Chain A
Amino acid sequence: MAKPLEEVLSHHVHTVEAPHKRHWLLDYLSTVDHKKIGIMYVLIGVFYLLVGGVEALLMRIQLFVPNNQFVSYPTFNELFTMHGTNMIFFAAMPLIFGLVNLIMPVQIGARDVAFPFMNAVSLWFTFVGALLVNISWFFGPAPSAGWFAYTPIGLDKYTPGTGMDFYVIGLQIAGFGSLMGAINFIATILNMRAPGMTLLRMPLFTWTSLVTSGLIVFGFPPLTVGLFLYMFERLFGGHFFDATMGGNPLLWTHLFWIFGHPEVYIVVLPAFGMISEVVATFSRKRIFGYTSMVIATVLIGFIGFMVWVHHMFTVGLGAMANSIFAISTMLIGIPTGMKVFNWLFTMWGGQIRFKPPMMFALGFLPTFVIGGFTGVMLAAAPADFQYHGSYFVVAHFHYTLIGGVVFGFFAGLYYWFPKITGRMMSEVLGHINFWLMFIGFHLTFFPMHLAGLFGMPRRVPTYNPGMGLEIWNQLSTIGAFIMGVSMIVFAANVVYAFTKGKVAGADPWDARTLEWAVPSPIPEYNFAQTPLVRGLDPLWIAKEEGSTVPAAEPLGPIHMPSNSFLPLVMAVGLFIAGFAAIYHRLFFIVLGLEVIALAMFYHSLNDDEGHHILPEESTRVREVRA
């Protein structure tokens, strides 16, 4: 099967040996390794989670008492717009992309993603997109028309200034990054699985990554088109959404939600995958109803595309349209319910260990169930006439987004942290982190259901005194600060892990899937020898036999792609072009685009074939990392 070493190496002109060591920062800036890219995605995600969190706390301070003057009304509008935009696009998406990048290739026994260079391009586009949107705080007004930027309020006429331009162009750039990332994941999952890993032997995290990537591929183009029209309307005076000029504001609403609804499944499906992995491992049982889990995942993805109008029940589409979309929305409850019961019955008859990852998974369950239930309540169109645009909605989507994405992500992060860093986090701090977050969360968001039903609209910087709204808002604010403290505990835990954390070893949790068969931290080539997969949970199968996962090939030289600064250069070019477009500087637009074009040109002409890692080196790494 393997060719002789000389033959493999013969057609490489250079770099047979490992490349020279760079300073770690330069190494990260130029890396094409999916694990380092994954780490950077996670860092971006955590950073914007904190930024968005601070924005949320400022809003909650403002709402602590009625008629508060802590921030001005316009500033409050900037806060919720940036909070929503940051949380969805620059916290949730990068966290998901980060963990998919870190873990998915290893779970399927691949050495890398399908297009490592493009992977780095995706990362840097996301990075500069986020940067562009957020520097608006320093360059004039920040965006202030809400994260779904409804027209006409978001148009030049009603929101003048550069704020919304930063939003439109920043999201456009980050969106390109996500789209490329998704294509990369699909190609990787479909083509690069280890021998024996059929589609129905893929771990559920990989399955959810696949479906999520599919949703991105179909969901982002409508957003891209919408943002393009938006950009034309704002920068060049197009009139697609301007009713006074023959446009239609509902056009944007539809385009946005055709993307926006699948988007919530884009971020929550991988979280479902993480929960599945964690629940199985910490119950020491195989996932219950694997096939129905896969079917449910695909169904959720599919139905997720057909329900966007439930965001528009009040725009006056009529009883017929509302009924159709109400019922199709309720249908989503069914595959979601299937998942919940499969998780419960995975634990049934198991041996449950209450480690921090499992705590977050367990916290996820009731929270997400409530979020799902309020979702079904919202789906009942005439009832939604009351909920829509009120704090009830704010409560609902935080139950799904924090209950799903954030709890899911923390479960995944506590679970895979030893794999990524080689160090264990503190269990005590993990439990404190969990309980503060869980209690703080419910204290923050449960009262919002009631505030909404007692008449509090969303996106309001103040509320009328004496309507019975004070108490709920005060509880919310207190809860939000408890959540803030939980994030500090989390930070402390990371510091603890790096200073005092025990060395993890390859398989600290007695886990089931392939990523636990390689050393921790994962060597840059993942598997010295591609593994042979003989069923679901290959590592568990091997452990039951008292052996290790068999290899599908002999030990040989491992081909690796080389690092490159070009992805970063391209992103910088796009950043310049985007920034210049906001201020109408044609020269710099052209300059930025030229940088990208040249970088692409250089990349195509430069035939760098990468390098090889020799067997001696991979053996040595395995001995050091055990």
Chain B
Amino acid sequence: MRPKHRIGLLFVMVGLLFGLTGCGRTDMSVFDPAGPVAKMELSVIMTSVYIMTGVFIVAMAILVYVLIRFRRRKGQDLPPKQVEGNNWMELTWTIIPLILMGILAVPTVSTAFALDQKQTGPNTMNVTVKASQFWWQFEYPDLGIVTAQALHIPVGTKVNLKLETTDVMHSFWVPRLAGKTDLIPGRVNTMWFEASQPGEYQGKCAEYCGPSHGVMDFVVIADTPQQFQAWVQKMKNPQVQPTSAQAAEGEKLFAQNCATCHAIAGTNFKGVLGPDLTGFADRPKVAGVLDNNPTDVEKWISDPAAIKPGTKMPKLPLNQQQISALSAFLEGLK
């Protein structure tokens, strides 16, 4: 018992050290909330941790005491007194937990209702999230923008999300901003969140959805309001003209091979099966997981299933030169 206890404490302390003081990166730590929703959730978590730790310490203190005090000694041949029980004591450890649970129930219920409310008022925004195996699409119905893998939001704005899926269940989780909500076929779920500081927040799919569930990543980018407006303007008037011969070659190949699935605003590429590629060059990641640079873009196009097994994007019969051209075209989409 005691060694275990020490190990446990050690873990908690080391864990808190990593989590709270920010040694190493904490892009996904629940202990490092960056918005009101994650803060409310963390406060429920900590309330329960305090109550539970208290009870744990009491129980373990009794255990340790009993084990030392009542070990069988030499010469104890007569059995100890056989005790049936004690109504008062038994009542005590029924009523005290009841009270503790009551204390925990209050923030639980109030937070549950606070998080369930659709946010209204001036500082709000609506986004529709559509998940598919194994990528994310974000639509801004009020702005007429569609993007994928990276969700831009302005700091200090409450974002109401509508969550839908096109195939199986997924779950939308950005630990530092908000706990998760599932995306379920035939249903529209809702949640809201807000980022109080600018930054990039890593998101994950948190409901098993097939072979590439583990790499169904996305990122939430919290911009200052000015940055956000600039991004919106760019997305509405994207730069789509190829700037080099190679890119122009890429555009042709795109029209032949890719446009059935992918859309790009400002062009007549209108495919909907795959992610919208408008403003692709400004995204931090390719497919949500690879870095956005020519090498990784080519890596993805040359064999998507090697990165995301089970993906619907096929491996196209293209040679290295064609793949580089496509990459050049994509990297020009600003």
Contacts and interface: CB of A to CB of B under 8 A. Distances in A.
A250 B184 contact: yes
Contacts of B60: 366, 369
A454 B208 CA distance: 18
A291 B7 CA distance: 36
A455 B101 contact: no
Given A73-B214, A331-B101, A385 B181 contact: yes
Interface in A441-471: 442-443, 446-447, 449-450, 453-464, 466-468
A382 B108 contact: yes
B93 A341 contact: yes
Nearest to A386: B179
Contact of A467 (B31, B38, B202, B210): B202
B171 A314 contact: yes
Interface string B105-118: 10111011101100
Interface residues of A, number: 100
A342 B111 contact: no
B24 A468 contact: yes
Interface in A248-269: 248-250
Contacts of A381: 108, 112
B198 interface: no
B11 A447 contact: yes
Nearest to A74: B211
Contact of A377 (B49, B83, B204): B49
Nearest to B108: A380
A466 B182 contact: no
A558 interface: no
Query: What bracket does the count of chain B residues touching chain A fall in?
Result: 35 or more
Interface string B156-184: 00000001000111010101001111101
Contacts of A468: 18, 24-26, 29
Contact of A316 (B44, B49, B184, B211): B184
A111 interface: no
Interface string B39-50: 011101101110
A158 B168 contact: yes
Interface in B1-37: 1, 3-5, 7-8, 11, 15, 18-19, 24-31
B70 A283 contact: yes
Nearest to B203: A455
A338 B90 contact: yes
Contacts of A159: 210
B112 A382 contact: yes
A62 to B, nearest CB: 10
A449 B49 CA distance: 12
A19 interface: no
A467 B27 contact: yes
A352 interface: yes
Contacts of B189: 315-316
Interface string A91-124: 0000000000000000000000000000000000
A377 B85 contact: no
A322 B111 CA distance: 11
Nearest to B65: A348
Nearest to A327: B105
Nearest to B18: A468
Given A243-B185, A338-B94, A73 B205 contact: no
Given A150-B169, A286-B83, A73 B212 contact: yes
A351 B112 contact: no
B245 interface: no
A248 B186 contact: yes
Contacts of B108: 323, 326-327, 379-383
B26 A323 contact: no
A83 interface: no
Contact of A153 (B11, B55, B83, B210): B210
A342 to B, nearest CB: 7
Indicate the member of A146, A349, A455 with the most B CB atoms within 10 Å. A455
Nearest to B53: A373
A227 B163 CA distance: 29
B83 A349 contact: yes
A61 to B, nearest CB: 16
A323 to B, nearest CB: 5
Contact of A463 (B31, B105, B184, B214): B214
A12 interface: no
B79 interface: yes
Q: Which 3 A-B pairs give the minimum distances between C-beta atoms?
A: A385-B179, A455-B28, A243-B186
Interface of B: 1, 3-5, 7-8, 11, 15, 18-19, 24-31, 38, 40-42, 44-45, 47-49, 52, 55-56, 59-60, 62-63, 66-67, 70-73, 76, 79-86, 89-90, 93-94, 97-98, 101, 104-105, 107-109, 111-113, 115-116, 133, 163, 167-169, 171, 173, 175, 178-182, 184-187, 189-190, 202, 204-215, 217, 309-310
Given A77-B211, A289-B89, A352-B67, 13 more contacts: A77-B213, A150-B168, A250-B187, A284-B80, A286-B84, A341-B93, A351-B79, A351-B80, A373-B55, A386-B175, A388-B206, A455-B28, A457-B204
